[in-house]
Amino acid sequence: MNTKVNEGKLISGKDALIALANGKEVECRAYEKKWINVDNKQHPLSLFFDDSFQFRLKPRTILINGIEVPAPFLPDEDELFYHTSPEYEKGYAKSMAHEINETTWQQFGAWRTEEEIKQVVAALRQVFGGSHDN
């Protein structure tokens, strides 16, 4: 699964407004607080021109036995990514994408950030009854 759009990465207010007009889900936050969904019916147009707000496309998610986690992505060659790994107590590791990894480290998915893989590992532990501590 390739999610190579700006999913989860910061975009400008102009790009956020265009994305919203094109039917995409957009989130914003002010002053490093929690991300909230932008609704063109509830938020004024001036929001998109206010430098105190940050915008991003809403990251895609998947369900692991009813638990919502970030969707994996397909990394480009030589791109760093996080993946599940039983070899580490924390349940994940960081690797560099290479065609030989596609059937090993990447076979169960790749995630861009440590925050994302921690959510995935926590969900898997919850499903299989393991510890929730990383």
In a domain, 33, yes or no: yes
> Do 54 and 70 have their domain in common?
no
Q: How many domains does the chain have?
A: 2
Supply the DSSP symbol for 111.
B
The Cα 9–Cα 55 span in angstroms is 8
Q: Range of 100's domain?
A: 63-128
> Do 34 and 46 have their domain in common?
yes
Other CB atoms closer than 10 Å to residue 101's CB: what's the count?
A: 17
pLDDT digit string, tens, across residues 45-60: 888 999 889 999 988 8
Which segments within the chain are labelled E, that is strand? Answer: 10-11, 26-30, 36-37, 53-57, 61-64, 67-70, 80-84, 92-96
> Do 54 and 86 have their domain in common?
no
> Do 23 and 51 have their domain in common?
yes
In a domain, 29, yes or no: yes
> Do 52 and 67 have their domain in common?
no
In a domain, 86, yes or no: yes
Q: Encode 45-79: b = buried (16+ Cβ within 10 Å), e = exposed.
A: eebbeeeebbbbbebeeeeeeeeebbbbbebeeee
> Do 55 and 79 have their domain in common?
no
Nearest to 70 by CA among 20, 128, 3, 16: 3
Spatial neighbors of 99 by CB under 8 A, at least 6 apart, are 77
At residue 26, the 3 state secondary structure works out as strand
Q: Tell which of 59, 77, 92 closes a domain.
A: 59
> Do 55 and 68 have their domain in common?
no
pLDDT digit string, tens, across residues 57-75: 988 889 988 899 999 988 9
> Do 112 and 55 have their domain in common?
no
pLDDT digit string, tens, across residues 5-39: 455 689 999 999 999 999 998 999 987 788 888 87
pLDDT of residue 81: 94
pLDDT of residue 130: 66
> Do 105 and 86 have their domain in common?
yes
Supply the DSSP symbol for 7.
B
Q: Tell which of 40, 59, 78 closes a domain.
A: 59
> Do 28 and 69 have their domain in common?
no
